[in-house]
Amino acid sequence: MENIFDFKDKIDIAWCPGCGNHAIRQALLAALEELHLGREKVVLVSGIGQAAKMPHYIRTSFFNGLHGRGLPAATAIKACNPELTVIAVGGDGDMYGEGGNHFLHASRRNPDITLFVHDNMVYGLTKGQAAPTSRPGMETPVQVFGVFEKPLNPMALAISLDVPFVARVFCGDVGQTKEVMKKAMAHKGFALVDIFQPCLSFNKVNTFKWFKDNTAYLPDDHDPSDRAGAFKKSLEEEPFPLGILYESDRRSTFEENLEVYKKDRSPLYQREVDMKMVEAEIMAKR
Amino acid sequence: MIKTITDDLAIVLAGEAGQGLQSIESILAQLLKVSGYNFFSASEFMSRVRGGANSTEIRVSAKRAAGFLDRIDILIPLHKESIAHLKKRITPETIVIGEEDKIGYPGMIDIQFTRMATELGGAVYANTVAAGFICGLLKIAEQECANFILEYFSRKSEEIRSRNLAAIKKGYAAGKGLSGIHISMGKNAAVKTDLLLSGSDAISLGALAGGCDYVCGYPMSPSTGVLEKMASYAKKFAIVVEQVEDEIGVVNMALGAWYAGARALVTTSGGGFALMCEGISLCGMIESPLVLHLAQRPGPATGLPTRTEQGDLDMVLHAGHGDFPRIILAPGTLAEGFALTQMAFNLSAKYQVPVFILTDQFFVDSRTNTPAFNAGDFKVEKHIVKTEKDYKRFSLTDNGISPRGIPGYGSGNVCVDSDEHDEDGRITEDLDLRVRMVDKRLKKFAAIGPAIIPPRLVGDGNFRTLVVCWGSTFNTVCEAVAALGEKDIAVLHFSWLFPFPDQAGAYLRKAANRIIVENNSSAQLARLIRQATGVAIERQVLKYNGLPFAVEEVQREIRKFI
């Protein structure tokens, strides 16, 4: 069977051979197919970066906007048509750096969208500068004395903001990546999956082997519904825990909170303004 | 000596922030209108929540007059600092009325608003006393005042209602009994059925009639009024209204909303708009509709946050990197504010370009009565197509406009990309295709052509002198030019600024004497006119101290050039 989300013909993919993005794409294609989503109901949203090119390689509608600005667009798309499955995708720089403020506030709004962040701890498209998740000591053409800033911890940050689905996977395990992606997409509310990924061209420190050696699957007895426990776990580094750290169904979504859907579930584009009501509103100013 | 005022009265209320100038204005606005008087008000205030020195001009007239006056017939200062604040506008003709012990202005008429209010149960009623006083001066039917005040406070407790009633009556008696001023004001029954609107109201109602269903913004003076108005309509008209974390998020959210089939409005001011420029460029690249209301205030940077200027035309003309078409509108009247905002949504959807509505603090915060407009005349044009399997969002067409699909409506994919892209919206580095795509986008300039609204000529068609202006200065400039009483002079007002209306060239070339009036320091429209027509306008009346033009001032400055 052909995957309806894949292209029939071979496409020109701009990623380096062996890049972790290929594995993430395979996992995403499989996850989309296994969830039996209608192709015309899926929208991928991205910013700029190597990861943000993903929408071009999946056969769905997409909004490939500006660097760092995927989340506001994705939030609005879902808010205007809740029937769509909206997936935002980007790299660590796109989502945690340039788009960091939007990440914080998307977490507060809790739109029912999924966010996949390709986290390779380096800037790929701009060729090798530090990312917000780069480890201290990494030398780059810009950070010539080595990175000395504290790396951003997206897991702890998201749990602190009560993002209702927070997970981390390593693209070297395509099986777990796909399964967690499926759960994230099925989860109601904002779901973050941080995907560890080696950058073969520009990150000579955090290699495939490094990720292998510095990650550990969450133990079977990890309770993702325990926020404090999940937060504590999220602070662990080297090895970084892999799996669903936190999952909660306690928060209502942005769309659920919108007054416009309280009585009428239809997407905004299907509605018509009642000019008689507008007229009455104008006349009320007499 | 009795001062006589006939058919045109300028009252200025002045006080510190928090003293309730707006509540006096609000009571008078409605009461004067229902009584058949033309009403106009404009406020200037400091960027502070308490203290300082602010003022509100209330103009009552027998004929429609929505120009800002420098003249003050009656000044009601609520604090001592008001006098120094308005010293340039106070003349020997100005009658100052207020609490003499507090204000200490020589020759003023002593009316103890606060004491009268305190006698009624609290200083809080002083504003109603003051409103009643003005009604008494104007000899509005007392019963009308009483009825109105009960209605105005109908949601308050019985105690508050009855005390305000007593307050308006007490003020009324003091105003009516005042000797020394005789006001004779013609009434016009037609005014009673007029709308009473602020500029923010007009823009917001226009957005409603334009089918707006998504509004996002970040609070910033003087644009916040529209954000709040739209929020007040959110439930009744099923509008998503979201305060976003920053203006970058605002514009990207609005583009996402249009992409998903909504009709989004952004409301902002200059500094916020500056943050949006990359998003405007994205709008150009993905050929998205976008309606953006920009209420101007003086810059650069934070500038004068609560004051007025027409200083952002240049920025809006050039905002966003790269070449792409756009439409820029600037209403001169409330009716235009409504109609152009309504139209902006259809224009934007049809041509898939950003449409900017330029107002300013003077426009959005002023209030006047205007004949009712009819939303029934308007149609919401969505310009959305149901997609087929092989749908291409950027199909190359003769006029550059590709049928716009949205995701989830039809079987096709709707792909948009900030990179240069092919017809399907996918990233490309085919440089020949790049040229075709740029040409496609720019072709829309020609497509927009027939929609362009030419500038409006007011005055003598056989003009020798042409006074050129745009946006919010319309009423003031027209009144000033009419007051000159000269023949062969006319006003040319632009409410459609870009793409520049070619029809303007003939008017400009016909004039032997051209004068531009702009509320900015560098004559930005004059520059655009020169660029578009080759006609230079060297006689310039410019103002950039943060205040709007006054009728007398424009009259005086134009007089120097004729």
Interface residue A140 vs chain B (CB under 8 A) = no
Chain B interface includes A102 (CB < 8 A): yes
**A89 located within any domain:** yes
**What's the whole-number mean pLDDT along residues A267-278?**
96
> Which pLDDT tens digit goes with each residue over A134-191?
999 999 999 999 999 999 999 999 999 999 999 999 999 999 999 999 999 999 999 9
For residues B414-426, give the mean pLDDT.
97
Dist. CA A78–CA A58, nearest whole Å: 19
User: How large is the angle between the packed helices B334-351 and B431-448, nearest 10 degrees?
Assistant: 150
User: CA-to-CA distance for B506 and B133, rounded, in angstroms?
Assistant: 52
CATH class name, domain B456-559: alpha beta
Q: What pLDDT was estimated at residue B378?
A: 84
Which one of B205, B253, B261 has the shortest CB-CB distance to A73? Answer: B253
d(Cα B519, Cα B68) in Å, to the nearest integer?
13
Strand pairing class (B367-370; B38-44): antiparallel
DSSP summary character for residue B376? G
User: Quick check: is A1 in a domain?
Assistant: no
Residue A11 lies in a domain: no
Which three-class secondary structure state does DSSP give residue A244?
strand
Could you tell me which residues are beta bridge partners of residue B77? Answer: B14
pLDDT at B528: 98
Say which CATH superfamily domain B3-193 falls into: Pyruvate-ferredoxin oxidoreductase, PFOR, domain III (3.40.920.10)
Token digits of residue B399:
């006029």
pLDDT of amino acid B224 = 97
The predicted structure's pLDDT at residue B138:
93
Residue-wise burial string across A8-20, b where 16 or more C-beta atoms lie within 10 A, e elsewhere: eeeeeeebeeebb
Query: What is the rounded average pLDDT of the residues A233-259?
Result: 97
CATH architecture under which domain B196-377 falls: 3-Layer(aba) Sandwich (3.40)
**Contact assessment for residue B315 and residue B299, using Cβ atoms and an 8 Å cutoff:** no
pLDDT interval class at B73 (50, 70, 90): very high
CA-nearest of A183, A122, A115 to A147 is A122
Average pLDDT over residues A214-221: 98
pLDDT for res B477: 98
Q: What is the dihedral of CA B365, B367, B371, B375, to 10 degrees?
A: 30
Q: Is A64–B282 a contact, with Cβ atoms under 8 angstroms apart? A: no
From residue A15, alpha-carbon distances to A18, A68, A121, B396, B454 in Å are 8, 20, 17, 29, 51
Q: CA-CA distance, A246 to A162, in Å (whole number)?
A: 9
Long-range contacts of A220-227 (CB under 8 A, 24+ apart): A227/A159, A227/A162
Alpha carbons A158 and A135: distance in angstroms, whole number: 19
Taking the Cβ of residue A64 and every Cβ of chain B, the question of whether any pair is shorter than 8 Å is answered with yes
Question: B201: pLDDT confidence band, cut at 50, 70 and 90?
Answer: very high
Q: Is residue A14 part of a domain?
A: no
The two domains B3-193 and B196-377 share their CATH topology (first three levels equal) = no
Determine the pLDDT at residue B175: 95
Burial of A285 (0-12, 13-18, 19+ CB in 10 A): middle
Question: Is B376 close to A279, i.e. CB distance below 8 A?
Answer: yes
- Over residues B482-486, the mean pLDDT reads 95
Give the whole-angstrom CA distance, residue B92 versus residue B504.
44
Decide if A255 is inside a domain. Answer: yes
Could you give the percent of chain B with pLDDT greater than 90?
95
Range of the domain at A147: 20-283
Q: Is pLDDT above 70 for A1?
A: no
Choose the weakest-confidence range: A157-171, B169-183, B243-257, B469-483: B169-183
Token reading at B133: 């006083």
Instruction: Judge whether residue B274 has pLDDT over 70.
Output: yes
* Total domains in the fold of chain A: 1
pLDDT band at B19 (very low <50, low <70, confident <90, very high): confident
Beta-carbon contacts below 8 Å between A and B: 198
pTM beyond 0.95: yes
- Summarize the confidence of residues B134-148 as an average pLDDT: 93
- Domain positions in chain B are 3-193, 196-377, 385-437, 456-559
With bands split at pLDDT 50, 70 and 90, how would you rate the model's confidence at B377?
confident
3-state secondary structure of B130: helix
Mean residue pLDDT across chain A: 97
CA distance to partner chain A, nearest, from residue B227 (Å): 16
Rounded to the nearest angstrom, the minimum Cα separation between A139 and chain B is 30
What pLDDT does residue B311 have?
Answer: 98
Taken as a whole, chain A contains a residue count of 286
Task: State residue B374's pLDDT score.
Answer: 83
Q: At residue B2, what is the residue type?
A: I
Alpha-carbon distance of B437 to B178, in angstroms, equals 73
The pLDDT, as a whole number, for residue B273 is 98
The DSSP secondary-structure symbol of A36 reads T
Find the CATH number of the domain harbouring A51. Answer: 3.40.50.970
Residue A269 maps to a domain: yes
Q: In the Cβ-directed half-sphere of B340, how many Cα atoms lie within 13 Å?
A: 27
pLDDT per position as a tens digit, B243-261 = 999 999 999 999 999 999 9
Residues B423-460: tens digit of each pLDDT: 999 999 999 999 999 999 999 999 999 999 999 999 98
Whether A222 has its CB under 8 Å from any CB of chain B: the answer is no
- Domain annotation covers residue A52: yes
What pLDDT does B20 receive?
84
Q: Is B420 on the interface with A (CB under 8 A)?
A: no
DSSP classification of residue A60: S
Of B404, B399, B398, which is closest to residue B425 (Cα–Cα)? Answer: B404
Question: pLDDT digits over A101-117, tens only?
Answer: 999 999 999 999 999 99
Work out the number of other CB atoms within 10 angstroms of the CB of residue A219: 9
Lowest mean pLDDT among B242-246, B373-377, B385-389, B552-556: B373-377
Which of B211, B237, B416 is the closest to A63 by Cβ? B416
Closest CA to B529 of B548, B551, B501, B553: B501
Q: What is the full DSSP assignment across B250-293?
A: HHHHHHHHHHTT--EEEEE-HHHHHHTHHHHHHHHHTT--EEEE
Cβ–Cβ under 8 Å, residues B460 and B489: yes
Q: Residue B547 half-sphere exposure, CB side, CA atoms within 13 Å?
A: 18
Q: What is the mean pLDDT of residues B23-27?
A: 92
Predicted complex: ipTM over 0.85: yes
Q: Kindly report, residue by residue over A4-41, the tens digit of the pLDDT.
A: 999 999 999 999 999 999 999 999 999 999 999 999 99
Tokens of A59: 């056969």
Are the beta carbons of A105 and B244 separated by less than 8 Å? yes
The answer to whether B257 contacts A76, with C-beta atoms less than 8 Å apart, is: yes
Rounded CA gap, B368 and B69, in Å?
14
d(CA A60, CA B2): 80
CA pair distance B371, B262, nearest whole angstrom:
31
A interface test, pick of B193, B250, B409, B415 with most A CB neighbours within 10 Å: B415
- Three-state secondary-structure class, residue B483: helix
Q: Which residues pair with A83 in a beta bridge?
A: none
